[in-house]
Amino acid sequence: MTQQTTSSTRPLRVSRAQAPLSGSIRVPGDKSISHRALMFASLAKGTTHISGLLEGEDVLCTAAAMRALGADAVQEGPGQWRVSGPGVGQLKEPDNVLDMGNSGTAARLLSGILASHGMTSVMTGDASLRRRPMKRVMDPLAGTGATFLAREGGRLPMAIRGLADPKPLDYRLPVASAQVKSAVLLAGLNAVGETRVEEPVATRDHTENMLRHFGAEVSVEKTPDGGRIIRLQGRPNLVARDVAVPGDPSSAAFPLVAALLVAGSDITIFGVGLNPLRTGLFTTLQEMGAQLEILNARTEGGESVGDLRVRASALKGVEVPPERAPSMIDEYPVLAVAAAYASGVSRFCGVEELRVKESDRLAATVALLENNGVRTAVEGNDMVVYGTAGHIPGGGKVETHMDHRLAMSASVMGLVAEKPVEIDDTSFIETSFPQYLDLMNSIGAGFVA
């Protein structure tokens, strides 16, 4: 599994695991909550202490952006941060371009804040982020009165001229997107009156939870067709409140699936976030026959948390309904690896959102499997995986397209494939999961970079 490189890329060659995975681990803090904790703490009056903050490259870009906008965000220890902000509507115009790195979440959420402050700002990101569409937030946020100037297709770099007195929005999302919903709600913080967002399917609600945590008035109403209406009263007096960030369930997915697939494995993952709008993967894996137990369930900082015990399991194919997609949208690549190893056919319904992630994640996941001998099909907005009953051929090279989740999914596949799996670049794993290779090695993966 040794790989050498002389460039900034970090290829990896992964061979079949020679022994079961075992031990107890903690995964990094939840990326979605970490971004939001920094942003809301910067908009609140007073000093917020954040524990468990993910210190991957994406989140550090958010911290730098909030400092550039006038907040005081200081690391006081590993995962421990102190943030003091000037309050809603009081951020200052940045002196330079805001670099959001690889994070679509940060760029889209911050767009809502920038659109509702009387300033001009410019955002950019790395090569991957500059390919991702921002029009989905530009269009609704233009309703505040803000103006946007971006490259063709609404791609970064993007200039925003915000208003100090923005209009409140009443917006129905055409497709389920927690990022767009959150951008609209963040814009509504500095708008007089009520901001209303309707989503066709319930998406992760970390923004609503954190708004309440910092003192905003937020109501949520379920619609007869399974959607939700969120109402926010503008110009709240946000007050600093400490935030404990739970372990990221999207990061936990990789050691979890690896333990399910590598024969004889038995691991425990401590302190994982169990927000019911984020646990679609766990539900799906249990439907496939996974021995996955939730232990010591509790509530910390307004979020459900628990410990996961995972043991190697014989998995079978499953059909995942489209309404579950928002609760596991980032986990489909590693779920596809689990489905490839399972017996029977799996169908993932309504996964069109994968086409606008860090890469065209749908096409890239298909390539990940097919290059390693697994048959797949894309039928409309559904992805079909034909399980190999534990006999993934492997032997292929995976192009990650600067997508951290594809790289980690490929590494999990390599642990159970019959021939080694070549990964073109693992450097982008740092955006969401620092020390991923080391953590996996601590339970016996045997990765050698």
DSSP readout, 424-441? S--GGGGGT-TTHHHHHH
Summarize the confidence of residues 152-177 as an average pLDDT. Answer: 95
Cis peptide before 157 (omega within 30 of 0): yes
For residue range 357-378, what is the model confidence (pLDDT) as tens digits? Answer: 656 899 999 999 999 999 999 9
The yes-or-no verdict on residue 356 having pLDDT over 80 is no
- Return the percentage of the chain with pLDDT > 90, whole number: 91
Q: Is 403 annotated as a binding residue?
A: no
The yes-or-no verdict on residue 392 having pLDDT over 50 is yes
Among 38-42, 131-135, 177-181, 404-408, the minimum mean pLDDT is found in 131-135
For residue range 174-202, what is the model confidence (pLDDT) as tens digits? Answer: 988 999 999 999 999 999 999 999 999 99
Q: Is 45 annotated as a binding residue?
A: no
Q: Is 311 annotated as a binding residue?
A: no
Q: Which residues are catalytic?
A: 330
Q: Is 330 annotated as a binding residue?
A: yes
Enumerate the domain spans of the chain: 12-27+247-443, 31-244
Q: Is 104 annotated as a binding residue?
A: yes
Q: Is 36 annotated as a binding residue?
A: yes
pLDDT band of residue 153 (cuts 50, 70, 90) is confident
The yes-or-no verdict on residue 264 having pLDDT over 90 is yes
What is 12-27+247-443's CATH number?
A: 3.65.10.10
Identify the architecture of domain 31-244 in CATH.
Alpha-beta prism (3.65)
Tokens of 285: 């894996």
Domains 12-27+247-443 and 31-244 in one fold: yes
The yes-or-no verdict on residue 5 having pLDDT over 60 is no
Q: Is 361 annotated as a binding residue?
A: yes
* Triad 208, 148, 164: Cα angle to 5°: 60
Q: b/e map of 349-370 (b: 16 or more CB within 10 Å)?
A: bbbebbebbbbbbbebbbbbbe
The yes-or-no verdict on residue 3 having pLDDT over 50 is no
